[in-house]
Amino acid sequence: MSSLIDRRQSLLALLGSITSPIVAVGFQENSLRKGPNLPDGSQAKGMMTPQLDKAVERGFEHLATRRRVDGSFGTGAYSGNVAITSLVALAFMAGGNQPQRGRFGRIVTDALKYILTQENREGSFPGFFHNPKASPHGPMYGHGFATLFLAEVYGMIPDKELRTQTHDALQRAIKLIIDSQTQEGGWRYNPIPKDADISVTICQIMALRSARNSGIVVPKSRVDRCVEYVKRCQDKKEGWFRYMAQSGGGGQLGFARTAAGVVALYSAGIYDGPEIESGLQFLIQSKPQGINIQRTEMHYFYGHYYAVQAMYTAGGKYWADWFPSIRDELIARQRPDGSWADQVCSHYGTAMACLVLQTPNNYLPIFQK
């Protein structure tokens, strides 16, 4: 176990030297603020257990032995899906694997090369990352997660030619996100500025933040417009977030939407204020139980992917109470073959579970705020 700790410490030092965030023009000036409630490295203490390491290792083995020959992931109708492939690659990166580095570094490289082949270089939407044969719903989800992956991996690519290809593709992907933002400030399923919802919007603002940390220009006005939209989606009395600014709220999916809303504000550099506090207070009402409850609600992993980021960034008691519970719940839910089940597909559920479980590693630049 000491070797795992040493490896984590050495990787943190390496990643900090490669991908340390730069001041992000376009985002709030306090976006790099450090304080007692923000991650400082101590939040990993006591969180990474032998059981967690074993669960993640089994998840990695499951994914590594089931990838497609072209380097992509996803099963059934989602085979070759760009969002799932990107999330799987990010999960391996969250374990310290980088292109051509680490036990699963080749998987990250192959996933990157696959994603680069899925760019629409012609037609109405140049720079759009989308596989129409593997995207039953919401193409901009795929584009957002693919762009986030490109931005996160960009500073870790040792091959000069591949790094240049990634940089150029990332610039085009960001331009598409900026061009498809609506006047009200959000994004929707397709890359056209027609309407918006908070679920797609969080994917785009995280991609913008990560890309800006990589040196890509993101206009401040676009970030401000996004913040305004996200705030309009919140119920000011109870703290939950609506799916759309003009729609109703509450209901079964309030947890996932609210987790996304809080992280959207964090991604824009908003770390304090009534919107953050009321959102966190709403989320803690859905604290995981830490036992094997086979939940059937939609967007379980989607919600917890954002909720763990919200609690990690909030720090303090929020994080100390939340992570052990979701850690133990996910470990209990793992299937005998090392995967996690989800209504989308097992590759998606497994990638999301591994991302949540490895949050204390703090290896991904987007978590290093």
Residue from 297, 305, 261, 359 nearest 47 by CA: 359
Give ∠ CA 282-283-285 in degrees, rounded to 5. Answer: 75
| Mean pLDDT of the region 267-294 | 89
How many helices (H) and strands (E) would you count in the chain?
Answer: 13, 2
CATH code of the domain in which 321 resides: 1.50.10.20
Which domain, by its residues, includes 181? 23-358
Quick check: is 219 in a domain? yes
Instruction: Please count the structural domains in the chain.
Output: 1
Instruction: Answer whether 149's CB lies under 8 Å from 89's CB.
Output: yes
d(CA 147, CA 171): 9
Instruction: Report the 3 state secondary structure along 159-181.
Output: CHHHHHHHHHHHHHHHHHHHHCC
Q: Does the pLDDT of residue 262 top 60, yes or no?
A: yes
β pairing state of 119-120 and 128-129: antiparallel
Could you tell me how far CA 168 lies from the centroid of its own chain? Answer: 22
- Grade residue 26 by pLDDT with cuts at 50, 70 and 90: low
Quick check: is 339 in a domain? yes
Quick check: is 238 in a domain? yes
Q: Does the pLDDT of residue 253 top 80, yes or no?
A: no
User: Which comes out higher in pLDDT, residue 66 or 37?
Assistant: 66
- Grade residue 14 by pLDDT with cuts at 50, 70 and 90: very low
Which residues are registered as beta bridge partners of 20? none
d(CA 242, CA 222): 21
Most confident segment among 37-46, 117-126, 259-268: 259-268
CA–CA distance from 153 to each of 150, 157, 255 (Å)? 5, 7, 29
Quick check: is 227 in a domain? yes
Quick check: is 38 in a domain? yes
CB atoms within 10 A of CB 32: 18
End-to-end CA gap in the chain: 27
Quick check: is 69 in a domain? yes
pLDDT digit string, tens, across residues 122-137: 778 999 999 988 877 7
Give ∠ CA 306-309-313 in degrees, rounded to 5. Answer: 145
Quick check: is 366 in a domain? no
Q: Does the pLDDT of residue 39 top 70, yes or no?
A: no
| Mean pLDDT of the region 275-304 | 84
Ramachandran sector of residue 120 (left: φ over 0; alpha: ψ -120 to 50; beta: rest): beta
Write phi, then psi, for 147 (nearest 5 degrees).
-65, -40
User: Which comes out higher in pLDDT, residue 42 or 301?
Assistant: 301
Give ∠ CA 68-70-72 in degrees, rounded to 5. Answer: 60
- Grade residue 62 by pLDDT with cuts at 50, 70 and 90: very high
pTM value surpassing 0.85: yes
Which residues are registered as beta bridge partners of 129? 119
- Grade residue 27 by pLDDT with cuts at 50, 70 and 90: low
Q: What is the CA radius of gyration of the chain?
A: 19
